[in-house]
Structure 1
Amino acid sequence: MSDATSAAGSPAFVSTTTFEPQPPPAATTGVLGWLKKNLFSSVTNSILTVLAVLLVLWVLPGVLRFMIFDAVWTGTDRNACLEANVGRHVGACWPFVETRLQYFIYGQYPVDERWRVNLTGLLAAIGIVWLLWPKIGAKGWGILYFFVAFPLLAFWLLVGGFFGLVHVPTNLWGGILVTLVIAVVGIVASLPLGVLLALGRRSRMPIARTISVMYIEFWRGVPLITVLFMANVMLPLFLPEGWRPDSLLRVLVGVALFWSAYMAEVVRGGLQAIPKGQYEGAQALGLNYSYMLIFIILPQALRLVIPSIVNTFIALFKDTTLVAIVGIFDFLKTIEASIPDPNWATPVTYYTGYAFAAIFFWICCFSMSRYSQSLERRLDTGYKR
């Protein structure tokens, strides 16, 4: 018998002992494993991580001091936010925001009628939760409510003038109310119009394709501020005498038309990513063109471009601040109008107002981004945390 063979006839180098499973190496699990995988996976990532940490350590303390630790939280006028009166370095003057908060939200909307704005916000929240929360059923009725019933109710409540409600002209609207109206109308109008334009650009009919291409390239070729100036200043010059559409309505139309061109290119990217076999399979099932788009192609295409769609929505929401340049009293405009108030004029009032605006926009945009990521996970679009 050779040395490599045991007395039982089995090779000596074959182990017959079963070992218990061992835990994975510590460097691949837990906090250290996560840090190594996500922040220090290479020399470049390690350098970028160190630089990012240094940047945060340089910026964050000053932000925290201004926003929280050195901030003034109570007061009735500017004297509460003056260093000479407080006797220390003064950060954000939050009593200024508290005092002007109603103006920031409603603008000059009549005080006795602001319940209409609140009710409209509640109805909008119901529609949004109905559509976005997956545990709530009857999505078809939710779509009908949000895209048909809610716009009519919102117009009746906000504008008034019939069925017992006092008419409130749009020149009295302002603040967050105007910002959300422009954003919601732009988002709701640009997506379906963008889908139609994307389908038209890929159409085999030369007229539809040419019109879609001309529309998209025209609106993508001009900046939004030019569109707003044209809608608010130049458009009335080309209209018949005595016919002057509402200024806010002109802005809403301009924003919707502008962003629908960008949305069309986003949707077109999703349509081009659909394999040809999906079209052939739908045709093999006997589906006509409309049913093929509604039930087979568009659901897949829109699911693929969820990040780009939400990114466009976020850009639209932030670009609502541009309407202040053409005289619309949006949220940013109400802050700018409140800063020179002699009752609150201090060296920190300017920074406090814009800090409050930054917080508002960050919360809204971050919420849209997080919902987009949860939607990607739920639809399994390849999203990875």
Structure 2
Amino acid sequence: MIDGTGKPAVQDAVVCISPDGRIDFAGPMAHAPTPPEDALVVDGRDRTVLPGFIDCHVHLGFDSARDMTRRFLYDPTLEVFKTVDRMHRTLAAGITTARDLGGLSAGFRVAVEREMVVGPAIHTAVRVLSHTGGHGDISAPCGFDPTAGMTYLCDTADEARIAVRKVIREGADVIKVHATGGMGSPYDQPDDQGLSIEEIRAVVDEAARHGGRPVAAHAQGTAGILNAIRGGVTSIEHGYGMTDEACDLAGEQGTYLVPTLSTLFDGIDKATMEPHHYEKKMRWMDTTVTNFGRAIERGVKIAMGTDAAVGPHGQNLRELMHMVSLGMRPMDAITAATRTASELLGVSDRVGTLEVGKVADIVVCNGDPLTDIALLGDPANLAGIFRGGLLVKNSNLLAEAPLCSASHG
């Protein structure tokens, strides 16, 4: 058992799930309680049990960066079913909680909560906040917006406050701002600055006034990263330009880094990407590799995120393999996707670790990911997934077990 806390793995472990979907016990077999006669007992020998994983940066509303700008061509009802399919694939990949940072309405979160669909627990930003001409502004010269209202444009601190109020009205759990340009947008660069530090501070203040919602900053170049941290954001997304100064400032402020390495290693396809997108990715790759290693060395709080959609859906835990390849220990990478990610999302009292009283979000993996972290990146190696104590994926874990409860359909 790898419990997600960062403590050493427990051999010959037992995890007990109560009827209400909570963890009753998680520890050595020698200390485990005797199960009730009617208990369902799962034999996990030669497997590893872990907490359900948390992806802190996904875009479930579309399949790719190109798809994002073409959704207006598609039937909106069909798009709902496609989104649900992406949610299913994400859950089957071991992600029991996902934070969507743009393009997903709050209705999908509610549908999961009401057990209308099976999927990961959702935290959503609904839309992103960007400035005119910035990374979130993909309006055509004629004025047409192909992203179908995914962005609120704000060019003053007051407009930024109003935008925060609007996304909260739409059900946002987290506020997403663009502090820099980006890779996929055609008219700016990652080094370009997005919202100003005054505008970011206004967003953070407004979010704090409405329940203390976290603020995630798309921030790639160094100047924008520094603006975002000084502005008080909760997390830096991507963080390609995390210099020593940025790492130290993040440490002082307690700011999290969500590096999304999968977009570099799994999301590059010259044949399907726009030329400007491909060129920028290739140009920034070495910088990102260097700066992620710097963030590890300087003790920045790192939470896992994939930017799935820019990278592929349903292979989310390949991100751990990339983290390890760039210097993280396997246990630290797993912790980044469990305990640390739950702390970033503000749900560490409920999920993220296998501890008594927590929700039974559990992944059962064939083999030992501490000796081969790549095992987790292949959904075929995930023999069983529980969410809220319900077995929602059963790949030869239990021959007779149903896929999920009747209430899930």
TM-score when normalising by structure 1: 0.28
TM-score when normalising by structure 2: 0.27
Question: When you count helix as a share of all residues, which structure comes out higher?
Answer: 1
Relative contact order (C-alpha < 8 Å, sep 6+): which is higher? 2
Question: When you count strand as a share of all residues, which structure comes out higher?
Answer: 2
Which of these two proteins has the greater Rg computed from alpha carbons? Answer: 1
